[in-house]
Homo-oligomer: A and B are copies of this chain.
Amino acid sequence: MSDPQQRRILLARQPSGPLSADDFLLDTTPVPDPGPGQTLCRNLLLSIDPAARAWMSGPTYRDQLEVGEVIAGYTLAEVVRSDVDELAPGTIVATQGGWQEYALVDTTTLRPISGRGSLEDRVSVLGVTGLTAYFGLVRVGRPEAGQTVVVSAAAGATGSVVGQLARTLGCRVVGVCGSRAKADFLRDELHFDAVVDHHTDDLRAALAAACPDGVDVYFDNVAGRVLTSVLPLMNTHGVIVSCGSVSAYDGEQPASLRALPGLIVTRRLRMEGFLVHDFEDEWEQGEEFLAAELESGRLTSVHDVYDGLERAPEALIDLLAGGNIGKRLVRIASEEG
């Protein structure tokens, strides 16, 4: 009898410019055996994140992803075999399982995940995505009721949660997105106060019309042209929450930021970056808050799921091209436990 095999997806070459299918390689390899301190996990749901594109270009908050490595990614997985009693087979864990069917994980890094919500909710609105929105908005942006909050990539995983949370705080919420379908969704389903398509001819004018009282908090997922168009609308003591610069990940020429340092001085702006891991000690409290919002119906969980590991490259390429509405996931396997 041959060893059990698994499929995985490797970085085939150092990508330049927009990703293509040729940057990825699907291969087959034996399912590994866990050594001491290791747990064998079977990946169920894979989170597809724009940051994966940045990891391929150089060191960020993690080492650069090298050619030949399994593409990194956050997964929900079930335990197959572990030497720790608490991790019985079938236990659901959240981990950096990567783009593969099975992962060997350092047992000490496995964190319990909330039993609330569906698996999809747990990897999106109740997972790192929702926590990113929550801590970025509430702890870095700190908007007050009545203020105007603009969020870019508003139909994306993080942006769609940011906008909904800002509305529950009593803010006027303006979303920036890239298609008519997204705009309709944000207005009709998530009740944003206004939506601006960033493909419009005069983005600055469209934003100004949507923000008659200026902008108090800009939750920036994209940098680039949206950032430079929001900047002149920032109110005195406004805050730019720097969460991502996805416009730069996949080759867009960054718009000129020549006015930025001067505006930061004269309008006394604060532009501040964060990673959700900076707030790791408070995740549990954040999860509680988000679960309560979800259960009350004030927060809608929005997913966009592809089926099958082999579709992960397509799922990322399309995500970077702005194809998703809500959290982009790939279903690698179904729960057995």
For A, the interface residue count at a CB cutoff of 8 angstroms equals 32
Q: Is A273 an interface residue (CB 8 A)?
A: yes
Q: Who on chain B is nearest to A57 by CB?
A: B262
| Residue A275 CB within 8 A of the other chain | yes
Contacts of A263 in B (CB 8 A): 273
Q: Does A185 contact B (CB under 8 A)?
A: no
Would you list which residues of chain A between 194 and 247 have a CB under 8 Å from chain B?
220, 223-224, 227, 242-245
In the complex, the 7 A-B pairs of residues with the closest C-beta atoms, listed nearest first:
A223-B261, A264-B273, A257-B257, A254-B258, A242-B264, A265-B273, A270-B272
Give bound CA distance, A227 to B264, whole Å.
13
The 0/1 profile, CB within 8 Å of B marked 1, for residues 246-280 of chain A is 00100000100110111111111111111100100
CB<8 Å pairs between A and B, sample of 9: A60-B266, A227-B261, A242-B264, A243-B265, A248-B262, A254-B258, A257-B258, A267-B273, A271-B271
Quick check: A258 and B268 within 8 Å, CB to CB? no
Q: Which residues of B contact A270 (CB under 8 A)?
A: 270-273
Give Cα A242 to B273, complex, Å.
16
Partner of A269, one of B54, B257, B266, B272: B272
Q: Which residues of B contact A254 (CB under 8 A)?
A: 258, 261
A272-B269, A273-B268, A273-B269 as given contacts; A242 in contact with B220, CB under 8 Å: no
Give the nearest-CB partner of A220 in chain B.
B261
Which residue from chain B places its CB closest to the CB of A272 in the assembled complex?
B270
Q: Do A248 and B272 have beta carbons less than 8 Å apart? A: no
**Complex interface: chain B residues within 8 A of A265 (CB):** 242-245, 273-275
Residue on B nearest A223 in the bound complex, by CB:
B261
**Sample of 7 further A-B pairs with CB below 8 A, known A227-B261, A267-B273, A269-B273:** A60-B266, A220-B261, A243-B265, A245-B265, A248-B258, A264-B272, A264-B273
Q: Taking the nearest CB of chain B, how far is it from the CB of A256, in angstroms? A: 8
Cβ-defined contact, B278 with A273, below 8 A:
no
Q: Are B262 and A245 in contact (CB under 8 A)?
A: yes
From 100 to 146 in chain A, residues with beta carbon under 8 angstroms from any chain B beta carbon are: none
- CB neighbours of A244 from chain B (8 A): 265
Q: Are B227 and A245 in contact (CB under 8 A)?
A: no
Q: How far is the CA of A64 from the CA of B124 in the complex (A)?
A: 49
Report chain B residues within 8 Å CB of A278.
268
Q: CB-nearest residue of chain B relative to A249? A: B262
- Tell me the bound Cα distance from A243 to B266 in angstroms: 9
Alpha-carbon distance A267/B59, docked complex (angstroms): 11
Residue in chain B with minimal CB distance to A237: B278
User: A64: shortest Cβ distance to chain B, in Å?
Assistant: 12
Q: Is the CB of A272 within 8 A of B273?
A: no
Measured CA separation A78–B120 after assembly (Å): 72
